[in-house]
Amino acid sequence: MVHQHFMLADNLTVTENIVLGAEPTRGMVIDLGEARRRITQLADQYGLDIDPDELVEELTVGERQRVEILKVLYRGARILILDEPTAVLVPQEVEELFASMRELTQRGVTIIFISHKLDEVLEVADRITVLRGGRTVDTVLPGEVTARQLAELMVGSELPTPEVGEPTVTDRLELQIESVTVHGPDGRVVLDDVSLSVYGGEVVGIAGVEGNGQTPLIEAIMGLRPISSGVLRIGGEDATGWPTRRIRDAGVGLIPEDRTTQALLLPAPLWENVMLGHHWNPPFAKGMWVDREGAVRRTEEVIASFDVRTPGPDVPALALSGGNQQKLVVGREMLAQPRVLIAAHPTRGIDVGAQAAVWDQIREARRSGLAVLLVSADLEELIGLSDRLFVIYRGRLVAEVDPATVTAEELGSYMTGAKVG
């Protein structure tokens, strides 16, 4: 199994990660030489180019995925389950993954490829089984169906596309970042002299391979990471150095990049999760006390308005599917009526139906005047939803492109540094 969220130790080498728990030994000592030899042999055999001595924290996302695949091949796996393997890859890395998958299947490995990206399923699969509501809907051959027909099998409606429609941008400047630089804990610059602005009724997209400064940018805006230099303004007011609570009270909502660790308390009931980040305000509080009835009412509103599939507000968040967890988070932030929404990977790992629902909510919020900063690894989503689109690379905004004309391949070239704006 290669999980959607990689299971790697960043501070260990490729070799150490691959053999962890299955270390070859010589007497009482781990035989790293033998481990390197076997890993190099497997990498050559299956076309998975990787340096066995490199630290995992220095690898690209695509390289980390190769490590995960080598980890299971090293243990002799003949059946490989890949869960949303392209969710965080740029187009060039997707092609490399598909080439590796073809090499693996030619050598007799069976691959179960779980994905919501229908064009990729059609490109790489030999047979496609469609699931809906925990049941098998149909099994088809790629040459006999289109992406639209697959979508209809999945959700009973045609394939959704992200489109913003008519411009709704106002002259109301809601979020402004001027020459912001941020340092990491080790003193290294992780965000370098970044400037951008987001107006009411506008979606500004940020494209980039993960680990190139998106997280420090979001954390700096939310007051979770100190700004070393530069200015942050919210609604025209200097918000540099504000604590997170004051930023939230100023009307900044956040859909975090990882719903399970940053957005939800999985064992807690839905009504407690809907309170998170807003628990000091009505309808969740009466003075210094929690208003459980108010929290339950708001949760029922989120469930109804955002089509969260659940028996009720007392169900723990861990009982929901990934798509329904995401809709709960989106609904929590939207119903708080923010002036600025930071949406980080808002549709990662969710199905076509949930994806369409989230896109609809972003479009509707944009029409109502919300300023949206959209960070995503889904290039179709960025191109389709953004009014303006920037590329971030190694902590700098290296290009501004026109969403109406840019291609995914061109974006991928900027994102990997092969093309400079």
Would you give per-residue pLDDT tens digits along the chain (421 residues)?
Answer: 988 778 899 999 999 999 998 888 888 888 989 999 999 998 888 878 889 999 998 887 778 888 998 999 899 889 999 988 887 677 777 888 898 899 889 989 999 999 877 888 999 999 999 987 778 999 999 999 987 788 778 766 555 567 767 778 999 999 999 999 999 888 889 999 999 999 999 999 999 877 789 999 999 999 999 999 999 999 999 999 999 999 999 999 999 988 888 899 999 999 999 999 989 999 999 988 999 999 999 999 999 998 899 999 999 999 998 889 999 999 999 999 999 999 999 987 677 777 888 898 899 999 999 999 999 988 888 999 999 999 998 899 999 999 999 988 888 888 877 777 6
Listed residue (338, 320, 110) closest to 221, CA to CA? 338
- What is the pLDDT at residue 158? 55
d(CA 349, CA 85): 10
Q: Where are the beta strands (DSSP E) in 115-215?
A: 128-132, 135-140, 173-183, 189-199, 203-207
Helices 32-46 and 91-106, interaxial angle, to 10°? Answer: 90
130-157 burial code (b ≥16 CB/10 A, e <16): beeeeeeeeebeeeebebebbbbbbbee
Q: What element of type H or E holds 289? A: strand 289-290
Q: What is the pLDDT of residue 357?
A: 83
Determine the Cα–Cα distance for residues 76 and 74; give it in Å rounded to an integer.
5
Q: Do 198 and 175 form a contact (C-beta atoms < 8 A)?
A: yes
Q: Give the three-state DSSP class for 398.
A: strand
Question: Which residue in 324, 309, 317, 312 sits closest to 266, CA to CA?
Answer: 317
Q: Which two tokens stand for residue 194?
A: 């970044």
Complete domains list, the chain, with CATH? 14-115 (3.40.50.300), 173-415 (3.40.50.300)
| Contact yes or no for 198/174 (Cβ under 8 A) | yes
Sequence-ordered list of residues with C-beta below 8 angstroms from that of 135, at least 6 positions apart, any chain: none
* Residues near 313 by beta carbon (within 8 Å), at least 6 away in sequence: 269, 270, 271, 274, 296, 299, 300, 303
Residue 260 DSSP class = I
Beta strands at 189-199 and 203-207: parallel, antiparallel or unpaired = unpaired
